[in-house]
Amino acid sequence: MRSISLALLICLLVGVTRAHAEKTLNIGVLAFRDKAQTIQKWQPLANYLDLTLPRYRFALKPYTYKELEDAIERRQVDFVLTHAAHFVQINAMISLSSPLATVIERESDRPMPVYAGTIIVRADRNDIAQLADLKGKTVATSSIQGFASYQMQAYELFKIGLSIPDDVKVIEVELPIDRSVDTVLEGKADAAFARMGLPEQMMREGKLAPNSVKVLNAQKLAGFDWAFSTTLYPLWPFAAMTQVDDELAAQVAAALLMLPHDGEVARASNIWGFTIPANYQPVKEVMQALHISPFDQVPEFSWRDVWHRYRLMISFALLAVAIILLLLVWLALSRRKLRESEERLSTLIESAPDAIILANAKGLITGWNKGAQHLFGYAMDEILGLPLTQLMPRRYLAGHLAGMERIQSGEQPRLLGQSLEMEALRKDGSEFSFEMVMGSWVTSSGRHFSAIIRDISERKRISQELEAHRHNLEQLVSQRTAELEQAKNTAEAANRAKTVFLANMSHELRTPLNAILGFAQIMQGDKLIPENLRANIAIINRSGNHLLALINDVLEISRIEAGRTTVSKDIFDLSATLQAVREMIRAQAVGKGLALVVDIPDQLPRFVLGDDPHLRQVLINLLVNAVKYTEHGEVQLVVDLQPGQIIGFRVNDTGPGIAPDDQERIFQAFYQTEIGIAKGEGTGLGLTISREFIRLMGGELTVHSTLGQGSSFCFALPLPQANQTSSTVGTEYTAGDQVMGLAPGQPSPRILLVEDNPDNQHVAEQLLTQIGCEVCVAAKGQVAVQLFQSRRPHLILIDMGMAEMDGSQVSRQIRSLPDASDVPIVALAASAFQENRVQVIAAGCNEILSKPIEAQCLYRMIGRLLGLRYEYAGAGAAKIERKIDDLGNLPIELRQEICDVATMLDDASMLAIIERLRTDFPDEADMIAELVKDFRFDKIATLCCVSSD
């Protein structure tokens, strides 16, 4: 069937081509050994082709490698028949068309479609069991150009990482190919590279003893006994040159493929036949891997090829390159920055006025700026590399070297960052003081040190100078302080002397005044003294009191100036105080024909916490002034409640007013306005004292005034409400009923009066006996102590200013006696200084009574201390209660008559009128009598006129 179809095909081909002229086609065949042999082998195939394609004559051209290549290059052949490796080689150099068919070899009457290489070693070489064992060994091959006899095996070694000739040595032996096996058997090589089947063939031919050799990496092909060591590769290709047209190539390919396998022609050529073209790529890979020509040259390729093949790798590579470029740019920028910063730093270091020195771990100088050059006198090239000790006075050397040793032994530098003051050595040998800050850092080259050094010689000199100046200054200051201290002590001594002087003066002045006022009071209370004389006595009384007020003011102002005025905070009855003040002023106001209006809110707390005596004094001062300087109209005392337990006080009058310029000056000590001076009364101290008292109590005294319209003095004080149910304080001040004597049914109190001044003795004694007391008098302290023991008095009055033994001592002595602890002792003090009061209380006294003694105060104090009951001038009190401010109740005719009599200063007629008035108008009679007593006929006339308006 097969031969019929072949015959048909041949007929067809002959038929088709008959008409064409015969054309010779050359088949270039590689002649392995002998060219004649080659022709002999392949001629049957050529004949077959001639027969099959009668239009062509196929001429066999046996060539050596070189000849075949040249022929191909010159296009002297149309078809090529060579072994696989050579075909790949030629194809790489000159493009051939794809193989038309591949030879199937014939081996022992069997088709052999592929071939491979063997690696043969002697069977007794136990040290070579696998391919890797060939490392360092020698192999024999008939030719390194042979594909099956060398390249296949070399590629196998290449795949396991053994390269020739680095790892495996090769010796080329001459043909015939059996030589390679012989070389191994002779022991000249460790292994032989040969084509598959050679050992078996040699054994068959009796050239090789069985089992004398073994094949490494042995593999077998089904149906064959041969062992091989490499990958299987395709056999010889039959290829067409590119100039052969496709149709012809197809005809030849068809003829080859149609060649009967194991047919006559095949047998004649000692092949099995042809098959479809095999894949020669593995052969190419072998050659490429082994860099066999032409693959030892870098193949020409386009970027596109490269991109196509290595896209991913190129992308990665490009990315890597981009990253590297970026890194390089970054590195370059960093280096530039670093360079710039280094330049900046070095400029900074160079331009620094201080010396900057760098040194290494051995203490050798490695850096030196201009400042250092200037300071030490060494140029940079002179000093670099020299030890730091070059710059130190000898005394520092030991310490420095010890420190360096410590640091070298791994200890941390101790003085880093600290400011050190030392001396350094200049080049010229002179020393200078410097201040240094040291730094240190460690790099791969070891530890480094830096020192910033500043010359402080000048600073030291200046600081020494300053120190000297400071010392001088200190001396000066302490000298001045001492002088000032002395001046202060002198001033204080002077002040003390002034105070003592004033206290003494006060005592000296009050002592006679005590007698004067005392007797005046006694006489005024004496019923035996006629009325007209009593009026004179009243004048003595008033003048004496005025003098006393003067003395008190002067004392007060000196106390303020000495800073000794203090305010107390006691509970007192504010309404009682206001009542007393009102009573005190009322007579004066009435006497001048002025209306006195006291406006007190209903909610005013009765008991408050504050300084009653000072408040009282201020109010009296202001009201007395208001009455004193006001001729018409009224005087007002307005009290109001303000938030925060503050109580406001305002004294208004309708007097002359105070010029704006004077409104501040009137508070200066001794300042009086023209009106004040014209009055001829007063001292100009009242307002000064008042303002000071108010400040001490927490307020401020201000004045509002309009000339010709009146003045208003205001202040407000914190006077917190106090819980007190009955008034026990300040009773002595309360102007009330006059004590006339002891109420009946009480034993006479026995009073011991201790007073060395005979006049004052008399005054006090008489005042006491006048109300029924029994008095024993002692002029000396000792006598007083004795009298106390013998007479056991109920109460003791002691003058504090006695010459021999003073009142405090007497009080102490008496208090030290048995049963003397309860007896009340009242101190009679001419000096009213506050500190005296403290001393007096400390000496054991219960109370202090200021001299000159005010009779009613004395009586009330005794009464309170001994629990006495008195008889009062009841009728007088009633009269006082009913007192009136004007004469408006009197009939107009009567007022006219009084006015006339007053204008004529006719006191006899006035007294007659008073007597007439007693029955119907007793208050008015009293009021006019009071005014007559003071010779205030002018006021009487004014009041009559005012009332008649």
Which residues form the interface with ligand ADP (CB under 6 A)? 621, 625-626, 629, 653, 655-656, 658, 666, 672-673, 675-676, 682-688, 711
What is the closest distance, in whole angstroms, from the C-beta atom of residue 672 to ligand ADP in the complex? 3
Calpha distance 760→748 (Å, rounded)? 22
691 vs 895, which CB is nearer to ligand ADP? 691
Which residue number, 363 or 655, has a Cβ lying nearer to ligand ADP? 655
| Minimum distance from residue 849 beta carbon to ligand ADP (Å) | 26
Least distance in angstroms from the C-beta of 681 to ligand ADP: 7
Nearest-approach distance from CB 706 to ligand ADP, in angstroms: 11
> Considering the complex, what minimum distance in angstroms separates the CB of residue 713 from ligand ADP?
7
Beta strand spans in 522-578 (E): 570-573
Which of 687, 827 has the CB closer to ligand ADP?
Answer: 687
CB of 634 to ligand ADP, least distance (A): 12
| CA distance linking residue 286 with residue 519, whole number of Å | 159
**Of 436, 366, 423, which Cα lies nearest the Cα of 396?**
423
The backbone region for 192, taken as left when phi is positive above 0, alpha when psi lies in -120 to 50, beta otherwise, is beta
Nearer to ligand ADP, 151 or 688 (CB): 688
Least distance (Å) from ligand ADP to the CB of residue 516? 22
CA 748 to chain centre: 84
Contact 659, 707 (CB under 8 A): yes
Q: Minimum Å distance from CB 616 to ligand ADP? A: 16
Minimum distance of ligand ADP from residue 590's CB (angstroms): 18
As given in the structure block, the two tokens for residue 493 are 């001594």
- Least distance in angstroms from the C-beta of 666 to ligand ADP: 4
Shortest distance, CB of residue 642 to ligand ADP, whole angstroms? Answer: 23
State which residue, 661 or 949, has the beta carbon closest to ligand ADP: 661
CB atoms within 10 A of CB 386: 15
Q: How far apart are the first and last CA of the chain?
A: 181
CB-facing half-sphere around the CA of 260: CA atoms within 13 A? 16
Cis ω before 176 (30° cut-off from 0): yes
Quickly count: other Cβ atoms within 10 Å of residue 811's Cβ. Answer: 26
Dist CA 111 CA 115 (whole Å) = 11
DSSP state of 579: H
Helix axes 758-770, 457-525, angle to 10 degrees: 50
Of the candidates 663, 670, 661, the one whose C-alpha atom is nearest the C-alpha of residue 688 is 670
DSSP 707-753: TTTEEEEEEEEE--B---SS--SSGGG---SPEEEEPTTSPPPEEEE
- Is cis: bond before 852, omega within 30 of 0? yes
Type and span of the H or E element at 946: helix 937-948
Cβ-contact 546, 539 below 8 angstroms: no
Nearest 5 degrees, angle CA 67-CA 71-CA 74?
Answer: 140
What is the chain's Cα-based Rg?
Answer: 75
C-beta of 146 vs 656, nearer to ligand ADP = 656
CB of 539 to ligand ADP, least distance (A): 20
Contact indicator for 135, 167 with CB cutoff of 8 Å: yes
Contact 200, 156 (CB under 8 A): no
DSSP-derived 3-state class of residue 176: coil
For residue 773, CA distances in Å to 777, 794, 807 come to: 12, 10, 22
Find tokens 């005034």 and name the residue: 705
The token pair that represents 911 in the structure block: 């007294």
Contact 622, 588 (CB under 8 A): no
**With respect to ligand ADP, which residue has the nearer C-beta, 571 or 685?**
685
Q: Which is nearer to ligand ADP, 28 or 676 (CB)?
A: 676
Q: From the CB of 625, what's the least distance to ligand ADP, in Å?
A: 3
Number of residues written out for the chain: 949
| Residue number, 591 or 807, with CB nearest to ligand ADP | 591
Identity of the residue, 518 or 655, whose beta carbon is nearer to ligand ADP in the bound complex: 655
Q: How far is the CB of 920 from ligand ADP (least distance, A)?
A: 36
Whichever of 593 and 684 has its CB closer to ligand ADP, that residue is 684
- Distance, CA of 21 to CA of 25 (rounded, Å): 13
**C-beta of 26 vs 621, nearer to ligand ADP:** 621
Q: How far apart are CA 784 and CA 787, in angstroms?
A: 5
Determine the 3-state secondary structure of 96 from DSSP: strand
As measured in angstroms, the least distance from the Cβ of 474 to ligand ADP is 48
- Output 565 or 672, the one with its CB closest to ligand ADP: 672
Instruction: Return the ∠ at Cα 875 (arms to 874 and 881), rounded to 5°.
Output: 90
Please say which residue, 425 or 658, places its beta carbon nearer to ligand ADP.
658
Task: Tell me whether residue 89 or residue 617 sits nearer to ligand ADP (CB atom).
Answer: 617
- Residue 722, Cβ neighbours under 10 Å: how many? 17
Could you tell me the smallest distance in angstroms from the CB atom of residue 552 to ligand ADP? 12
Report whether the peptide linkage leading into residue 643 is cis, meaning its omega lies within 30 degrees of zero: no
- The β-bridge relationship of strands 114-115 and 233-234 is antiparallel
HEC readout, 192-219: EEEECCHHHHHHHCCCCCCCCEEECCCE
- Which residue lies nearer to ligand ADP by CB, 684 or 852? 684
Record the tokens describing residue 555, joined without a space.
């004392």
Q: How far is the CB of 937 from ligand ADP (least distance, A)?
A: 24
Of residues 489 and 668, the one with the C-beta less far from ligand ADP: 668
